[in-house]
Structure 1
């Protein structure tokens, strides 16, 4: 059974600047710089002002919850692909999908970037499905929390990148 989730990530930068950063190869390369167990592939299949970000990462063993460690068949590998479309009338739409190896997990959803009075925000809505008998439902909220942590970490990276660009 899958679990639905939604949340919003607030940014202090204007929507045009945030979209430019999210579709910028240098920003993503900066975010992944020094990541020992991660890979990053960037493409622009829909042209300028769009991007597809494919990321993989081996989860550090010390950060894997006990309930997950008990059902792992091999190393926990996380894979995610985000796609951002062009900015139209202050709004950009995107999507994400992900899966993991070591435990069968799938997630998918939508992203919407829009302006706010304080800057901009990304609305995230999706589903996660952990295909493990008996404990899958207990693991799904952990995956949802991981997605929130990653999105908030990306917010910090984008804002740090902006600060470096404007220094």
Structure 2
């Protein structure tokens, strides 16, 4: 049975500007610059204002919770595919899918970007399923926490990225 989750993050960046950055290339190239164990494949299958980001990263062993390390038989590589649709009015919709090697798991969900005051907010809704006998249910909350940490880390990077451009 899959575990459902949801959370919302706020950005001090107007929706149109944030969406343009999320569907552009510069933000993501900067985000992955110097990432030694990560890959990025970025395309615009629906034309301008859309993006498909395929990302993968080998997780360092010290970053893997002990419970997960016990069931791994090889390196843990996490793959995520984010897709964003064009801005419609003042909102944009996106999806994400995630899988991992060395442990059978799948994560799917949606993004909704909308205005919030002078900035915007990103609503994340999804589910995660880990297919490991006996401990899969115990690993699912860890996978959910990982997704939240990744999106929060991206938020911090994006806010800093915008601030650096505003001060340049």
Question: What is the TM-score of this pair, normalised by structure 2?
Answer: 0.97
- Quote the offset at 1:165 in angstroms: 1.8
Which residue number in structure 2 is paired with residue 157 of structure 1?
Answer: 157
Task: Please give the root-mean-square deviation of Cα atoms over the aligned residues, in Å.
Answer: 0.7
Aligned ranges 1:45-124 → 2 under 5 Å: 45-124=45-124
Which residue number in structure 2 is paired with residue 142 of structure 1?
Answer: 142
For 1:129 and 1:10, locate their aligned partners in 2 and report how far apart those are by CA, in whole Å.
27
- Quote the offset at 1:26 in angstroms: 0.7
Question: What is the TM-score of this pair, normalised by structure 1?
Answer: 0.98
**What SS class does the counterpart of residue 154 from structure 1 fall into?**
helix
For 1:86 and 1:161, locate their aligned partners in 2 and report how far apart those are by CA, in whole Å.
22
Count of aligned positions: 167
For 1:160 and 1:116, locate their aligned partners in 2 and report how far apart those are by CA, in whole Å.
19
Report which structure shows greater RCO (CA 8 Å, sep ≥6).
1
Structure 2: any 5+ residue segments left out of the alignment? Answer: none
Q: Which runs of 4+ in 1 moved over 3 A?
A: none
Structure 1: any 5+ residue segments left out of the alignment? Answer: none
Aligned ranges 1:9-28 → 2 under 5 Å: 9-28=9-28
- Quote the offset at 1:9 in angstroms: 1.1
Which residue number in structure 1 is paired with residue 39 of structure 2?
Answer: 39
